[in-house]
C-alpha cells in the first residue's frame, strides 16, 4: 500500500491540486497573480540572491530534463556511456545546485533581517523559500556528496522512467522500490512544493511578461507630501 500511495496516489494528488488551484487562482484571483518586488527597500542583496538563484534554478531545471525526461537508451544510442554521463551530471549539476542553495540563503536572510522587507514577507514566502532550500539542499547533497562518496546512483533506470510513467498515466510505482531514501525524500518534498505553487508567489513562474515592455511606468511618490518638496 505504501508504494502505491507514495508513488502513484500522492504525485497525482499534488498534480491535481497544482493544476486545479492554479486555474482557479488565474480565473478568480488574477489581481494577486504577481510576485510584488521589494527592490525599493533593498536592491543590493535582492540582486545578489535573486539573480544567482534564478540562474541556478534554470540550469538545475535543464539538468532535471536531461536526467528525468531523456531515457538512458537515448544516451547509449548516441554513444554516451553511463560513466561519462554521471561525470557530466555531477560536474554540470553541482554549480547550479550551489547557486540555488546560496541564492535561497541570501534571499531568506534578506527577508528576515531587513525590517522593511520583513513586514512585506508573508508566511507563504517563508514556507516556499524554506521548502525550496530543503529540496535543493538534499538535491545538492545527492549530486555532490552521495554520488561521490557512496555510489553514482543510476536514477535513469528508476526515478526517470517512474517520473515519465506518471505523464503517460501508466504509473509504475515498483520502479521506486530500490531508490535510496534521500532521493525519495527529495522527490516527495518536490511534489509538496508543486502542490503549494498555486497558494504562493511561485505562480509567477507561469507568467510570461509579454506585456511588460509596453506596460505603463509605475510611479512612486513620497508618503509625506509630494508638493512640499516642489515648492
Ligand atoms: C521543485 C522541484 C525541485 C527542485 C528545486 C530540485 C532541485 C535539485 C537540485 C538543486 C539538485 C542538485 C543539482 C542538480 O543535480 O541539478 C537536484 C538533484 C536531483 N534531483 Fe531535483 N529538484 C526538484 C525536483 C525533482 C524531481 C521532481 C525529481 C524526480 C522526479 C528530482 C530528481 C533529482 C535527482 C535524481 C537529482 C540528483 C542528480 C544527480 O545526481 O546528478 N528532482 N535537484
- Which helix H or strand E contains 149, and what residues bound it? helix 147-149
Q: Which residue has the CA at smallest separation from atom 6 of ligand 1?
A: 136
C-alpha cell at 214: 509596453
Minimal CA–CA distance to 134: which of 185, 184, 89, 95?
A: 185
Grid coordinates standing for 25?
A: 487562482
Whether 67 is in the pocket of ligand 1, judged by its Cβ within 6 Å, is yes
Q: What is the pLDDT of residue 219?
A: 66
From the CA of 132, give the closest atom in ligand 1: 5
Listed in order, strand segments (DSSP E) in 57-189 are none
Closest CA to 59 of 136, 125, 128: 136
* Whether residue 143 has its Cβ less than 6 Å from ligand 1: yes
Which long-range contacts does 157-161 make (Cβ < 8 Å, 24+ apart)? Answer: 157/72, 159/68, 159/183, 159/187, 160/67, 160/68, 160/69, 160/70, 160/71, 160/72, 161/71
The tens place of each residue's pLDDT in the chain, 231 residues long, gives 788 999 999 999 999 999 999 999 888 877 777 666 778 888 899 989 999 999 999 999 999 999 999 999 999 999 999 999 999 999 999 999 999 999 999 999 999 999 999 999 999 999 999 999 999 999 999 999 999 998 889 999 999 999 999 999 999 999 999 999 999 999 999 999 999 999 998 888 887 666 667 767 766 677 776 555 555
37 falls within a domain: no
Cell numbers given for 121: 514577507
CA angle 54, 108, 184 (to 5 degrees): 70
User: Is the residue at 173 inside a domain?
Assistant: no
> What is the 3-state composition of the chain as percent helix, strand, coil, each rounded to the nearest 5?
75, 0, 25
The preferred substitution site among 12, 143, 161 for testing ligand 1, maximizing ligand atoms within 8 Å of CB, is: 143
Task: Give the residue numbers spanning the domain of 75.
Answer: 42-151+181-206
- The per-residue DSSP string of 99-119 comes to HHHHHHHHHHHHHHH-HHHHT
Whether residue 140 is contained in a domain is answered as yes
Report yes or no on 129 lying in a domain: yes
pTM, two decimals, is 0.88
Distance CA(106)–CA(54), nearest Å, equals: 12
For residue 121, the Cα-to-chain-centroid distance in whole angstroms is: 19
Instruction: Let me know if residue 111 belongs to a domain.
Output: yes
The count of structural domains within the chain is 1
Phi and psi at residue 105, to the nearest 5°:
-65, -45
Q: Specify the pLDDT at position 107.
A: 96
Cell numbers 489581481 label which residue?
Answer: 31
| Residue 16, domain member (yes or no) | no
Domain of residue 86, CATH code? 1.20.950.20
| Distance from residue 135's CA to the centre of ligand 1 (Å) | 8
Amino acid at each position: 500500500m505504501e508504494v502505491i500511495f507514495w508513488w502513484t496516489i500522492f504525485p497525482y494528488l499534488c498534480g491535481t491540486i497544482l493544476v486545479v488551484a492554479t486555474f482557479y487562482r488565474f480565473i478568480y484571483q488574477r489581481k494577486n497573480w504577481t510576485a510584488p518586488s521589494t527592490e525599493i527597500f533593498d536592491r543590493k542583496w535582492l540582486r545578489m540572491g535573486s539573480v544567482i538563484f534564478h540562474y541556478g534554478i534554470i540550469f538545475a531545471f535543464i539538468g532535471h530534463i536531461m536526467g528525468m525526461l531523456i531515457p538512458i537508451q537515448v544516451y547509449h544510442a548516441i554513444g554516451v556511456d553511463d560513466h561519462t554521463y554521471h561525470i557530466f551530471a555531477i560536474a554540470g549539476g553541482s554549480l547550479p545546485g550551489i547557486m540555488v542553495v546560496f541564492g535561497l540563503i541570501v534571499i531568506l536572510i534578506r527577508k528576515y533581517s531587513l525590517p522593511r522587507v520583513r513586514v512585506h514577507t508573508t508566511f507563504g514566502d517563508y514556507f516556499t523559500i524554506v521548502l525550496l532550500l530543503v529540496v535543493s539542499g538534499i538535491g545538492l547533497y545527492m549530486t555532490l556528496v552521495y554520488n561521490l562518496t557512496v555510489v553514482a546512483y543510476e536514477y535513469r533506470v528508476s526515478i526517470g522512467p517512474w517520473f515519465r510513467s506518471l505523464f503517460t498515466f501508466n504509473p509504475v510505482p515498483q520502479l521506486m522500490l530500490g531508490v535510496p531514501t534521500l532521493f525519495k525524500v527529495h522527490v516527495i518534498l518536490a511534489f509538496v512544493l508543486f502542490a503549494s505553487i498555486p497558494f504562493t508567489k511561485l505562480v509567477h513562474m507561469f507568467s510570461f511578461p509579454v506585456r511588460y515592455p509596453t506596460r505603463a511606468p509605475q510611479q512612486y511618490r513620497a508618503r509625506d507630501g509630494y508638493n512640499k518638496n516642489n515648492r
